[in-house]
Structure 1
Amino acid sequence: MEIQEFEHFIKPIIKNGDKFVSYECKRLLQPGENYGSIMLEVTIKLTNKDGKEESIHCVAKACPPVGFLWDIFNTKVTFKKEIELYNTIVPTLNDFGREHGIDKLIDFIAESKCARISLDPNSTEVDENALLLLENLKLEGYTTGDRFIGFDLESTQLLLRDLATMHSSMIAFRSAKPEFFEKKMLPYLDRHLLKEFPEDVQREAVNKVLTVLKTMPECVPYLSKVEDKILNMFVAINNPPKTNEIFTTITHNDFWVNNTMLKYVNGKPISNKIVDFQIIEHSSLANDLVFFLYSSVELSVLENDIENLLEYYYNHFISSLKKLGTDVTPYSYPAFLEECILVGKSIQWTHVVFMLSPIMTLKGKVKELADLEMTDLLVDETSLHDNYNKKLKFILLDSVKRGWF
């Protein structure tokens, strides 16, 4: 892929005296690993003032090539939001952390090097030449988990700590500096409505899920409600319920295996970097939590530890609020669980069930983004990993038990 006017684009990251020589780029991810953007591995070759050649290794994020994907991800809006996450939100929260003696409050988000929304510097509209350049986390030892299996207990706990910090930091900032939040932060966290899939696509999605659940006697009593929820998914997402305002914060809204990377030492997770912030918004923290647990955690961990994981997240959330000088009295554990119930049954159960199919689609079974059609998101059962049926069954029965369905 050729990147237009690349030399001009990277001027902000070229040090004094260095000269641009060339660049090389290749695809970073295979089809099926990401739908909302094109991800490229980029090597920039420079010469310094002594004539010695140097290289900068980055990842470039570009807009998807297909029209309907622009609609699904609302790219004209969300690409700008992601840029401002790196340029405004993260630096502001880190400054806030330093005010409370925390050197780097948000240390789990990749570094952005430069960005543009168009080749035209005066444009305010995102176009096909929009580009975001990030550090290459793979070269720092970060890896993506296995989306077919999910994270083990120790990795899940690390991710929940970071998620709790991200959520609590915005709540604490909003509480301490409400006017600044309203003027400088909230505009980048606006809700954006999702365009509904055509009725026949929604019906096909329902049929594929029901076909699997019909083979499981324990799930049969819930088939009618499953059908209703999926058919009304977009209505629910675009008309979210009124939740407890105290739990409203910055949410990732697509926090699953492929959107976070972990570094391991001797098999132990030591740090994490969250990526892909294009659909961030100001909403309930339970949106991220419920979706992450069901979509991205190893089934054996969920079966044995989900209660402990909810409490683990909550304890770190409260601890972080305290460190940032926030009164935690209103944030009781029962109120937190009620928030999870409300969000789970109104939005996130359907979200995770719909996303389970693309998450579990076998490698090599997804078309290139340029050839992708909307119906390709609904793959045949033969193209799904064996864990799909097991995970779907657990999600339904466990959510019934918790009131998330």
Structure 2
Amino acid sequence: MEIQNIKDLIGPLLKGNKKYLSHEQEKLLQVGENYGSVILKLVVYCEDENGKKEEHHCIAKLVPPSSYIQKIFKTKITFKKEIRIYDTIIPLLRSFGEEHGLKNLLPFFGKYIGSRISLNPKSVDVDNDAALILRNLSYDGYVVCDRFIGFNKETMELLLKDLATMHATTIGYKLQKPEEFNQKILPHFFGTMDWDYNDITIEKYQDQYGAVLEKDPNCSHLRQKVLHSMNKAGCYYGSKPREPFATMIHQDLWVNNMMLKFIDGKPISSKFIDFQIMAYGNPACDVLFLIYTSAQIDLLHLVDDFVKIYFDHFITILKNLHCDISNFTFEAFQNEMYTAATDFTFVHILYMLAITNTLTGKAKDITEMTGHEDCVVPNENLHELFYRRLLVVVKEFGRKGWIP
């Protein structure tokens, strides 16, 4: 998948009369680490006006080659959405923060270099020549953590505060500049990605999950309710916006979609990546999904503490943006948590547990996926963490009354 006309994508790298020389590319991720796009490691070589050569380390996101994957990920919609995050929404939110004296309010977004939806400049549709070029964060010291371990308490606190900042900043913009928000930001939250599993695929998942729940005395009584909930497979990725909390949500914040920088083992900053299915919806969806898919299992008894850390920082950001917080009570947010869980987030988490806990190298390459049945991971290809996390999630959601 050679990137055509790459010079048109790397304008910021060529400022100051720099000349493009060449580039190298190779596949960045192993099979099973990403499904919604092809991600390449990209090195661009340039030369300045004095003949000094430069080396720029980037990543390139391209549309998936599989027509099936393009269909279920609604690539013609989601690829364009991610571009709008970088070229429109992030600059607007950062400028809004600076207006309130908050420089570098959103440091957890990567550096944008360039993009296109087609080689045809007049096209309004995403095609197979679409591309998004970003800075390669690994060259800034950021790493993807081990998805089979999850995030420790200190890392979770950092990520939840960054998430709260993203949510609150968007709400602040909406409250203080409602007309601009409706004109410049809201239109880009168009479309949803409904994972419309067929009945055969749902039954396979139900058999797989049901067998695990039936054997556990703490979860067996919830088995039928869980299996009934799984019939709502086509409903997830469909958070409904509820005011006043409605905001920009990521909808897919798990270990692989966040990168961390550590110093002496301590997390100092994060980057959120992969915004293909971002939407305008309930922020509690992101909070629940992040915690239950990505916190270390032994920390899931701290869910209430994590939610409070998120909420307190959320309110702090709204105050710093000079917003009226009278409608943003903790009791009101707890209602959002219940709504998010029972609306679709429980189902979303359930189905993603198998995908996020597939053994390395055991997932099908996206070029080989031709139907929904390919999404069902055989038991022998699942990490033991899948079984442990499934039982904890079901038990905790059952205890809280969050199983729809």
Whole-angstrom distance in 2 between the partners of 1:397 and 1:10: 49
Match of 1:352 among 335, 349, 352: 349
Matches within 5 A, 1:273-352: 273-303=271-301, 305-352=302-349
4+ residue runs over 6 A deviation: none
The one-letter code matched in structure 1 to 2:76 is K
> What is the alpha-carbon distance in structure 2 between the residues aligned to residue 367 and residue 200 of structure 1?
19
**Could you say what secondary structure the match of 2:34 adopts?**
coil
Q: Aligned partner of 2:342: which letter?
A: K
Aligned with 2:23: secondary structure? strand
SS at match of 2:143: strand
TM-aligned CA deviation for residue 331 of structure 1: 1.2
C-alpha separation between the residues in 2 aligned to 1:341 and 1:306? 14
Moved more, 313-322 or 198-207: 198-207
Which amino acid in the other structure matches residue 374 of structure 2?
Answer: D
1:22 CA displacement = 1.1
The match for 2:399 is: 401
Instruction: Measure, in 1, the Cα distance between the counterparts of 2:307 and 2:207.
Output: 32
CA distance in 1, matches of 2:113, 2:136: 11
Q: What percent of counterpart residues are identical?
A: 37
Q: Deviations over 1:252-296 (max 9, x none)?
A: 011111111000001000000100111111100011111111011
Correspondence for 2:363: 366
Aligned equivalents of 2:398 and 2:191: distance in 1? 28
Alignment of 1:114-153 (within 5 A): 114-153=114-153
**Structure 2 CA distance for aligned equivalents of residues 237 and 116 of structure 1:** 25
Q: Indicate conservation of the 8 Å contact 1:13/1:114, yes or no.
A: no
Query: SS in structure 2 opposite 1:106?
Result: coil
Q: How does 1:235-246 map to 2 (within 5 A)?
A: 235=235, 238=238, 244-246=242-244
SS at match of 1:49: coil
3-state SS, counterpart of residue 121 of structure 2: coil
What does residue 96 of structure 2 align with?
96
Secondary structure of the corresponding residue to residue 218 of structure 2 = helix
Q: CA separation in 2, counterparts of 1:155 and 1:246? A: 28
Corresponding letter in the other structure for 2:3: I
* Deviates most, 162-171 or 365-374: 365-374
**What is the number of equivalent residue pairs in this alignment?**
402
The aligned residue for residue 247 of structure 2 is 249
1:218 aligns with 2:218: yes
User: Tell me, which stretches of 5 or more residues in structure 1 are unaligned?
Assistant: none
In the alignment, the residues of structure 1 paired with residue 63 and residue 202 of structure 2 have an alpha-carbon distance, to the nearest angstrom, of 25
Matches within 5 A, 1:57-76: 57-76=57-76
User: Shift of residue 139 of structure 1?
Assistant: 0.4
List per-residue Cα deviations over 1:318-354 (Å, max 9, x = no partner): 1111000111111111111111011112210110010
The DSSP-based 3-state class of the residue aligned with 1:4 is coil
* Unpaired stretches in structure 2, ≥5 consecutive residues: none
1:203 aligns with 2:203: yes
Distance 1:363 1:78 in 2: 26
SS of residue in 1 equivalent to 2:374: helix
Please tell me whether residue 262 in structure 1 is matched to residue 277 in structure 2: no
1:386 CA drift (Å)? 1.1
Secondary structure at 2:259 match in 1: strand
Partners of 2:63 and 2:47 in 1: CA distance: 30
Offset at 1:369? 1.6
Q: CA deviation at 1:89?
A: 0.8
The 2-side partners of 1:7 and 1:236 are apart by 39
Answer with 362-371 or 137-146: which moved more: 362-371
Task: For residue 244 of structure 2, give the secondary structure of its aligned residue in structure 1.
Answer: helix
Matches within 5 A, 1:222-237: 222-235=222-235
**What is the distance in 2 between the residues matched to 1:323 and 1:53?**
44
Assess, with a 3 A threshold, how the Cα gap between structure 1 residues 35 and 237 changes in structure 2: closer, same or farther: closer
SS of the residue corresponding to residue 56 of structure 2 reads strand
> Contact 2:248–2:279 at 8 Å: present in 1 too?
yes
Residues 306/235 of structure 1: CA separation in 2 closer, same or farther (3 Å cut): closer
* Cα distance in structure 1, aligned partners of 2:43 and 2:84: 24
Structure 1 residues 209-246: Cα deviation after superposition (integer angstroms, max 9, x where no partner): 112111112211111111111112214655x56x6411
In 2, distance between residues paired with 1:6 and 1:192? Answer: 30
Q: What code does the residue aligned with 2:141 have?
A: G
